[in-house]
Amino acid sequence: MQPGGKSRTFNKIMKQLADLLGKRKNLRNYTRKIDEKTVESVFLGALQKELPNIARADILNFKLKDKKIYLKTAHPAIASEIWRRRERLKNEINNFLESENVEEIKVK
């Protein structure tokens, strides 16, 4: 065995442990990126629960920009129903995603 062989092996193992601990620490601080499609899917699920008579086809346009949802509906009556329940829908989306992803819902 070479002189210092145990020391090199020990140092190598310690480096590997430090790398693993660093990765674990990074994973603990990891926050997932929520995209528009995810919010849209959660919104439609919440909408279906609140207003079962409204279908996906009734929502003509869905946009998420700066934590605001912009909707365009097929009929003013649908827009009115969504507008009346906008706070409940917003809260349900944020609770499901476990973060403040939606601050406002605008309906047209």
- pLDDT, residue 81, reads 93
- What are the structure tokens assigned to 26, written together? 């990074």
Calpha distance 71→60 (Å, rounded): 8
The DSSP secondary-structure symbol of 34 reads P
- pLDDT, residue 2, reads 53
Which residues, at least 6 apart from 69, have a Cβ–Cβ distance to it below 8 Å?
Answer: 39, 43, 62, 63, 90, 102, 104, 105, 106
Q: Which residues pair with 68 in a beta bridge?
A: 65, 104
pTM, two decimals, is: 0.68
pLDDT in tens, the chain (108 residues): 455 566 778 777 777 777 776 766 555 555 567 788 989 999 999 999 999 998 889 999 999 999 999 999 999 999 999 999 999 999 999 998 888 889 999 999
